[in-house]
Structure formats: structure tokens, C-alpha cells
Amino acid sequence: MAGLYIHIPFCKQKCSYCDFHFSTSLKNKKALIQALCSEIRLRSSLTKTPIETIYFGGGTPSLLNYDDLKILFDSIHSNFDICKEAEITIECNPDDINEIKLSEYKKLGINRLSIGVQSFYDEDLCFFNRAHSAKEATKAILLSQDAGFENITVDLIYGFSMLTQKKWENNLKKIEKLKIPHLSAYTLTIEPKTTLNYLLKTKKINNMSDELVIQQFQFLIDYTSSIGFEQYEISNFAKQGFISKHNSNYWLGKEYLGIGPSAHSYVENKRFWNLSNNAIYIKSIQQNTPFYEEEWINENMAYNEFVLTRLRTSWGINYNELIIKFNVEIARHFNSKSQILLERNLIIKTNTGFCLSKQGIFIADSVISDLFI
Ligand code: SF4
């Protein structure tokens, strides 16, 4: 089993762009931790090989205290075989990070921090309704480095109207100055049930123009490349030795188990997704009633998933792998569609197959869907 994902569905407050599953009430926290342990036990029989990566995501996993995490780690270690060199990541919000917490993380074996910075400007953080300030973000990074964490990734958002080119440049310069080895940078997408969507609909904010979003994406690619980052996935950039193993395994189509409300799993050609409601999830686990839905992934779905995940990465589509995995008809479909994209210079040939071209990366979603069945 490549990866284990644990979803911690609690947050201090709702960020204006967020449509993830979480609750701002911690009243069910104890019961939820117990339910997570029960699910870990229930799912353990699905793993045949040791776990290579563990990822605490959310929500805000850094809201958990040492005792909560210890209970989860004990449960994980008693139910799974964990690789010695496993990458163990926890997502943290800057305002939760302090020396004590960092030393507890070390003690638990956590070796990678994903810090949700989003911007180094207070006005942007206020716009996003983040719970931290720009000063706290810098302090959290410095404290983490002082505590001995080398493997740190930071999230940034670009492509929103308040983010001038100068500010975007400064945010990236700050990544360089703070010697961060991994960056996830996402263009702002306004999802339906979010505060930003309401503000957009009521004309209180504007979208950034497509031209400016493209300009910021181009700057991101050029700047990160100039300071030694590899863009190994459309939104992910790493210095040598710091590529995220957890996410890479997902993009390379390896199996993973997702534990907790709203978590997804992919095991033996089946996809599972858990209920997205804390109270119902807990009750279902306690009463031994179904807490997830599942579907078989047929060959066409598997092919679409293959194209989608591989083409987002710098490794691209391995043609031999495609031929081995899928039937002749699917291979024929791929050949004819990819030919058109090659002619339009949206994908290029590599030694092993195909990857997005410099132009294609800007319209990746459309290129990828052109290859779908
Ligand atoms: S902290 Fe993360 S999960 Fe929680 S509301 Fe903000 S973006 Fe969403």
C-alpha cells in the first residue's frame, strides 16, 4: 500500500475560498478520534504491502494535540506495517505552530510539514479569512527549521484580483529567502458554496482576467525554475530530493487508503468515499452501519484517470505502461487523439511516451479531456 491519508475534519474558522469538509466545532473531537481508530482497524485488512507514506490532511490537523495524535499513531502502528523510511506529513496552519508542538511532532515521527501560508500579505490573508497573519507565517517556518524540519512545503495562492504582479513576485522571493524546498501553488478557483462565490455573485469582488492569471502562472514557472525548483506536477515545485512521495504515488496510480469523513481510497480497482458528515460518520462507525460508498473502476474510467494523473506530472504518460494496462481499442483511441495534440504542439514526445508541452501546460485540463474516452 503506497499511502495512508487521515482526514482531520476540524478548522478554527472557514476560509473564504474553501469547500473542503470540516466543522468549526470541536465538540465531537474525542468521538471522531475513536471512530478514526475503528476505521483504521476495519481497513487494515486491505493492505498487503507496507505503508510508504502517511499524510494528515484536513481540515486542520495541527488543531490536534499530542494526546490525540498519539492515539492515532498507536492505532496506525498496531494495525499497519509502516516502512522504516516512511514520509510522514502533517498539514499545519501557521498560528498553531510553536516549539512545543514541533518537538511533539518530532517525537511522533512526523518528518514533513505542509504549512498553509497562502500569501505573505495580511490584506490577502484577511480576504481569504485565514486565521493567521503574515508575520505568524514567517515565524512558523523559521521555528520549524530551527526545530530541525528540513522537509517543509508551503502552499501559496495566485490568480486573484488583489494579488498584483509585484506582490506575487515578493511572495515567491520570500519562498526563496526562507529556503523552502517544496512549494504547492494553486490558482484561485471560486467554488459554488464559498464566501468568495457569494461576494462574486453580489459583485463585491471581481475575478482576475485570464491573461493576468496566465501571466502569474508563467512567472511562477520561470521564477521557480531560476532558483532550482523542478515543476514535477502542474502545481507542485520541488528542490532536488524534496518531491512529495505521498502525492507522487497518487499521481503514479498507486493504491492509497483514506481514513475519516469525506476521505477517498483507491484499492484493488475500487474507489471508496466516506460520508462527509462528522456526526453521521461517527454514528455509522459506532453502529457498524455503512459509512462509505464504493464503485468499481472499469477500464475506461481507469484509462481516463491514468491520462489525467500522469499528464499533470513532468514524467508524463509512459506509452509502454499504457499498452500493457489497457486494451487495443483504448490504445487506438489514445493514438488517434494524441496525434492531433502532437500536431497542435500541446503535448510532446519524450523518451518513454508523452508529456504536456510548454503551451499545453497552460490549458492542461482541456488537453487532458481531449484524450478522455
Ligand atoms: S484551514 Fe484549510 S480546510 Fe480549513 S477552512 Fe481553511 S482552507 Fe479549508
Residue whose C-alpha is closest to residue 368's, from 347, 344, 339, 350 = 347
Q: Are residues 179 and 307 in the same domain?
A: no
**Which three three-digit cell numbers place residue 139?**
515565524
Residue 261 domain-assigned? no
What element of type H or E holds 32?
Answer: helix 29-43
- Secondary structure letter of residue 17 according to DSSP: T
Angle of the 99-108 helix axis to the 66-79 helix axis, nearest 10: 10
CA of 17, closest atom in ligand 1: 7
Residue 267 domain-assigned? no
Half-sphere exposure of 65 (CA within 13 A, CB side): 4
Residue 178 domain-assigned? yes
Residue 34 domain-assigned? yes
Whether 22 lines ligand 1, by a CB cut-off of 6 Å, is yes
Residue 44 domain-assigned? yes
Residue 216 domain-assigned? yes
The CATH number given to whatever domain includes residue 207 is 3.20.20.70
Measured in angstroms, how far is the CA atom of residue 203 from the centroid of ligand 1?
Answer: 24
Q: Are residues 61 and 127 in the same domain?
A: yes
C-alpha 351/C-alpha 344 separation (Å) is 20
Whether 14 lines ligand 1, by a CB cut-off of 6 Å, is yes
Residue whose C-alpha is closest to residue 234's, from 102, 362, 136, 45 = 362
Residue 314 domain-assigned? yes
Residue whose C-alpha is closest to residue 190's, from 219, 157, 146, 147 = 157
User: What confidence score (pLDDT) does residue 2 get?
Assistant: 87
Q: Are residues 243 and 322 in the same domain?
A: no
Q: Are residues 30 and 148 in the same domain?
A: yes
Tell me the pLDDT of the chain (373 aa) as tens digits.
Answer: 689 999 999 999 999 999 988 899 999 999 999 999 999 999 999 888 999 999 999 999 999 999 999 999 999 999 999 999 999 999 999 999 999 999 999 999 999 999 999 999 999 999 999 999 999 999 999 999 999 999 999 999 999 999 999 999 999 999 999 999 999 999 999 999 999 999 999 999 999 999 999 999 999 999 999 999 999 999 999 999 999 999 999 999 999 999 999 999 999 899 999 999 999 999 999 999 999 999 999 999 999 999 999 999 999 999 999 999 999 999 999 999 999 999 999 999 999 999 999 999 999 999 999 999 9
Measured in angstroms, how far is the CA atom of residue 261 from the centroid of ligand 1?
Answer: 15
Measured in angstroms, how far is the CA atom of residue 59 from the centroid of ligand 1?
Answer: 5
Q: Are residues 239 and 325 in the same domain?
A: no
Q: Are residues 64 and 174 in the same domain?
A: yes
Q: Are residues 133 and 245 in the same domain?
A: yes
Residue 282 domain-assigned? no
Quote the pTM value. 0.96
Q: Are residues 131 and 36 in the same domain?
A: yes
Range of the domain at 106: 3-250
C-alpha 108/C-alpha 74 separation (Å) is 10
Nearest 5°: the CA angle 231, 106, 20 is 55
Largest CA distance in the chain: 58
Q: H-type helices in 193-272, by residue range?
A: 195-201, 210-226, 245-251
CA of 129, closest atom in ligand 1: 6
